[in-house]
Amino acid sequence: MAYKEPAPLIDKENPLESMMSRFNIAAEILGLDEETYNVLKAADKQMIVHIPVTMDNGKVSVFEGYRVVHSTILGPSKGGIRYDMNVHLDEVKALAAWMTWKCAVVDLPYGGAKGGIICDPTTMSVGELERLTRAYTLSMKDIFGPDRDIPAPDMGTGPREMAWLLDEFSKTVGATTPAVVTGKPLVMGGSLGRTEATGRGVMVSALAALAKLGMDPKATTAVVQGFGNVGSWAAKLLSEKGVRIKGVSDISGAYWNEAGINIDDAIAYKNVHNGRLEGFVGATPMDPADLLTSDVDMLVPAAVEDVITEHNAPFLKAKLIVEGANGPTSASADAIINEKGIMVVPDILANSGGVTVSYFEWVQNRQGFKWSLDMVTERADRIMNDAFEKVYETSQKYDIPMRIAAYVVSIDKVAQTYKYRGGF
Ligand code: GLU
C-alpha cells in the first residue's frame, strides 16, 4: 500500500491543542488540583504588535509580531523568536508552553516564552531584516530583560538577529546587556558549543535511547527530516557515532543513499548552495512523502510541527523517533505510535540541548567569564543524560510513554514550585 501525504493544510493540527492534550493526560496522572491546573495551562501574558518597516523600495510594510510568556514560575522566561510566514498566535502559545516544560525537564531556572513574526526572511534584504528586528525589539523592550524574559534564535533567526536585538535593547537601557539574549555571535558574548547544542543533545538522547533498546549505533540506520541547524548537526554527530543516515530532506526535497549519506559532504554542499541540498550528487532524490515511512531504525524529525500524523503513523517502520523539532508529532498520532511500540524521545527532552547551552551562555554573560568548549559540552551532555534517565524512570514507574513521562516530570516540578511560591 503506497502512502501519499495529504495536502498539508487539510492535515494540520493545532499545536496548542496537541500540547494541551498531552498536558491533560500528565495532569491526570499527577492528580493535579484544579487551581494549579488552571494556573499552568494558560499563558501569563501575550503581546501582539504591528510593526511598520520601511522596505528597500521605500514603501512601508506592517508586520504582525508576537511574544507569549507562558510561565515565570521557575525563573525568567526563555525561548526563541521565529520568523516564518506560518507563524500563528496559537502556534506561539504552544511553543511558549513547550519552553516551560522543556526548561523544567532539564532542570533550568527558567520559565517559558516564545516570539514570532509573520514574515518570509528568505525574500527580505539584510537591511529590511535588521529594521524589522530592531523595531520588534523596541516594541518588546518592557518584556525582554536578563531577569525577565530572554529570547534566542528559532526558525528563520540566528546569531545575526540576536546581535541586532542585543544592540537595540542595550540602547534602550543605556548599557550593554549581553545576558538579555542568547545565541549571540561568539565575539559578542555567545557561548562556545551553542551552534551545535540542539543537534548534539539530539545525538546524546538518541544514544541513550538506543542503549535502552539494546541497539548498537553502528548497526543503526536513520533518516533526518530537516537539514537546517538542528537537523544537519544531529545528522553529523549521529553519523560520527556510526549511525548510517540513509535519508535526509530539506525544503528543496528528500535525498536517499542506501549506503549512507556522507553528512560532511552534504553540509559542505548546502553551505555553498543557498543552504539547500538540491543538486547534491551524494544521494538520489526521492519523494519527501516517503521519507518518514522508509525502512530505517530511527527517525529524527528536525523541521516543523505536525509531520507525523494519524495519516502516516500507521505506516512507520522505525523503532525509535527522536524529535529534534518542536511538536513534529501531532497528538492524533500518539496512540498509533504507542500501539506499534515505537519509542519516542519527545521534543521537550530531545531538543533541550539548545536551551541548556543558552542557559550556559546567560550564566557566562553574568559571570563575565568564558567557559571552554569542553566544559560546555561535558556539562550539557551530563544534563541531557540525567534528564533522559529521569524521564525514562518515570515512564517505567507509571508505565506510560516517554512523551507523557516528560510532561509528568516537568509539570510536577513547576506545580511544586508554584505551591511554594503561592498566588495572590
Ligand atoms: N528556539 C530554541 C528552542 O526551541 C532555543 C530556545 C533558547 O535557547 O532559548 O528550544
- Is position 256 within any domain? yes
Q: 219-255 burial by CB neighbour count: b if 16+ within 10 A, else e?
A: ebbbbbbbbbbbbbbbbbbbbeeebbbbbbbbebbbb
Cell numbers found for residue 279:
543538486
**Do residues 302 and 203 both lie within one domain?**
yes
Instruction: State the Cα–Cα distance between residues 206 and 324, nearest whole angstrom.
Output: 10
Cβ(112) – ligand 1 distance below 6 Å: no
- Is position 156 within any domain? yes
Closest CA relative to residue 90, chosen from 120, 112, 68: 68
Instruction: State the Cα–Cα distance between residues 292 and 337, nearest whole angstrom.
Output: 13
| 188 in Cβ contact with 154 (< 8 Å) | no
State the closest ligand 1 atom to the C-alpha of 359, by its place in the atom list counted from 1. Answer: 8
**Do residues 218 and 317 both lie within one domain?**
yes
- pLDDT score, position 6: 38
Cβ(67) – ligand 1 distance below 6 Å: no
Cβ(94) – ligand 1 distance below 6 Å: no
Residue with the smallest CA separation from ligand 1 atom 9 is 79
Look up the domain containing 313 and give its range.
197-350
**Do residues 114 and 216 both lie within one domain?**
no
**Do residues 235 and 330 both lie within one domain?**
yes
Instruction: State the Cα–Cα distance between residues 346 and 43, nearest whole angstrom.
Output: 22
Catalytic (active site) residue 246: no
Predicted TM-score (pTM) of this structure: 0.94
| 325 in Cβ contact with 302 (< 8 Å) | yes
Expressed in angstroms and rounded, the spacing between residue 424 Cα and the centre of ligand 1 is 31
- Is position 25 within any domain? no
**Do residues 181 and 57 both lie within one domain?**
yes
Cβ(191) – ligand 1 distance below 6 Å: no
**Do residues 217 and 302 both lie within one domain?**
yes
- Is position 2 within any domain? no
Expressed in angstroms and rounded, the spacing between residue 79 Cα and the centre of ligand 1 is 5
| Dihedral angle, C-alpha 82, 83, 89, 90, nearest 10 ° | -60
- pLDDT score, position 13: 79
Beta strands 320-322 and 298-301, pairing class: parallel
**Do residues 113 and 159 both lie within one domain?**
yes
Cβ(161) – ligand 1 distance below 6 Å: no
**Do residues 262 and 120 both lie within one domain?**
no
**Do residues 153 and 201 both lie within one domain?**
no
Going from the C-alpha of 111 to that of each of 71, 159, 202, 259, 346, the distances in angstroms are 5, 22, 22, 43, 19
- Is position 127 within any domain? yes
Cβ(324) – ligand 1 distance below 6 Å: no
The CATH code of the domain that includes 176 is: 3.40.50.10860
Expressed in angstroms and rounded, the spacing between residue 151 Cα and the centre of ligand 1 is 8
Q: Of the residues 319, 350, 381, which one is the last residue of a structural domain?
A: 350
The phi-psi region of residue 254 (left if phi > 0; otherwise alpha if psi is between -120 and 50; otherwise beta) is beta
The CATH code of the domain that includes 270 is: 3.40.50.720
- Is position 172 within any domain? yes
**Do residues 335 and 222 both lie within one domain?**
yes
Instruction: State the Cα–Cα distance between residues 113 and 365, nearest whole angstrom.
Output: 20
Q: From the DSSP assignment, how many helices (H) and strands (E) are in the chain?
A: 14, 12
Strand blocks (E) in 55-125: 60-71, 77-84, 111-118
- Is position 332 within any domain? yes
**Do residues 184 and 203 both lie within one domain?**
no
State the closest ligand 1 atom to the C-alpha of 326, by its place in the atom list counted from 1. Answer: 4
In the chain, the number of structural domains is 2
**Do residues 163 and 286 both lie within one domain?**
no
Q: Which residues of the chain have pLDDT under 50?
A: 1-10
- Give the DSSP letter of residue 184: -
- pLDDT score, position 99: 98
- pLDDT score, position 5: 42
- Is position 220 within any domain? yes
- pLDDT score, position 423: 78
Q: Of the residues 165, 188, 211, which one is the last residue of a structural domain?
A: 188
State the closest ligand 1 atom to the C-alpha of 110, by its place in the atom list counted from 1. Answer: 9
- pLDDT score, position 12: 67
Q: Of the residues 188, 218, 236, which one is the last residue of a structural domain?
A: 188
- pLDDT score, position 9: 38
The residue from 78, 102, 114, 236 that is catalytic is 114
Cβ(355) – ligand 1 distance below 6 Å: yes
In sequence order, the β-bridge partners of residue 298 are 222, 320
- pLDDT score, position 4: 42
Instruction: State the Cα–Cα distance between residues 152 and 363, nearest whole angstrom.
Output: 14
